[in-house]
Structure 1
Amino acid sequence: MIRVIAGGKKHQDWVNMAISEYEKRLKKPFNVEWQFFDEDKLLKYLEGWPFSGHEFVIVLDERGTNISSVELANKLNQQFVDAKEAVILIGGAFGFTDEIRARANFVWSFSKLVFPHQLVRVMLSEQIYRAQEINLGGKYHHE
């Protein structure tokens, strides 16, 4: 399972529609569970870093490393092989602190551009679906 912890409000209707199109195609271990926090509560939740060490934590941040879809597929697949839960953090309007980024296992950037967190949720869902299809040898991803 992939757990996505996001700052900000729950999905807007258009985001729900887009995400559900990808999520209905996801199979274990690529299925996604969403947790939402108000921005100030998200940072407080993460300050205590409530993870057990059995997770591979990815922070989405424009200052992170830009990787290809194939690299993401490999990275997620390796966590499943290692019996770790992938946890992906999406910040709200103000992102994450340096401390949270430093404590993550990987800081991932979609782009040097900054995107609204609702749009990032849709993009992330598509990339998780693409990663699944790459790992299954599906026809969705073309190189």
Structure 2
Amino acid sequence: MKVSILNIANKMPDWVNTACKEYLTRINHGKYSCSLVEIKADKNPNKPALVNMEAEAKKIEAQIPKDSFVIALDERGKNLDSIKFASFLEETALNYRNITFIIGGADGIHPELRDKADATISLSKMVFPHALVRVIILEQIYRAISILENHPYHRE
């Protein structure tokens, strides 16, 4: 399974970079690989948020690997517990070589890009800053792999 995480971001705090590096190290072994791509945010205060989001969407689309199953992370998406998320990834990996998660910027993912995604998943009905979402999705991908490999990381 090859996973890409496309994240609208500017400079991330050290704690985010440290956590991401740790989870990427845990994930990237054997048949699993995960990469994190930072895409510069468009923050022109003289333009409406939707215009900035559209510019970000174009940058995101340019980074989506070919033949990828695209998952938008959005609070309006489908809620999955960790077991169902692991099953979802496993089933998706049977049909797609690449799985791409999109994390929007401060204003979210442009509605057209969100609608074009193959799936929309919610990590919570609460809204989180995109820096924290990056850490959460990496942890959940690692947790899903541990579930699929019967590793004791996940406990019920």
TM-score if structure 1 supplies the norm length?
0.89
Equivalent residue in structure 1 for 2:87, among 74, 79, 93: 74
After the TM superposition, which residues 27-106 of structure 1 pair with which residues of structure 2 at under 5 Å, given as runs? 27-40=29-42, 41-46=55-60, 52=66, 54-106=67-119
Q: Distance in 2 between matches of 1:49 and 1:125?
A: 18
After the TM superposition, which residues 94-133 of structure 1 pair with which residues of structure 2 at under 5 Å, given as runs? 94-133=107-146
Percent identical residues: 37
- 4+ runs of 1 displaced by more than 3 Å? 46-52
- Helix, strand or coil at the partner of 1:36: strand
Judge conservation of contact 2:65–2:100 (CA < 8 Å) in 1: no
Equivalent residue, structure 2, for 1:2: 3
Pick closer, same or farther for the CA change 1:47–1:23 going to 2, 3 Å: closer
**Mind listing any 5+ residue stretches in structure 1 that lack a counterpart?**
none
Measured after TM superposition, the shift of residue 25 of structure 1 is: 1.4
Measured after TM superposition, the shift of residue 23 of structure 1 is: 1.8
Equivalent residues, number: 142
Pick closer, same or farther for the CA change 1:96–1:83 going to 2, 3 Å: closer
Judge conservation of contact 1:10–1:36 (CA < 8 Å) in 2: no
**Mind listing any 5+ residue stretches in structure 2 that lack a counterpart?**
43-54
CA deviations on 1:71-118 (whole Å, 9 max, x unpaired) are 111111122222420000000001112211111111011111110111
Q: RMSD across aligned C-alpha pairs, in angstroms? A: 1.9
Q: Distance in 1 between matches of 2:11 and 2:32?
A: 21
Amino acid in the other structure paired with 1:15: V
Pick closer, same or farther for the CA change 1:93–1:112 going to 2, 3 Å: same
Q: Is the radius of gyration larger for structure 1 or structure 2?
A: 2
Amino acid in the other structure paired with 2:74: D
Asked whether 1:139 is paired with 2:152, we answer yes
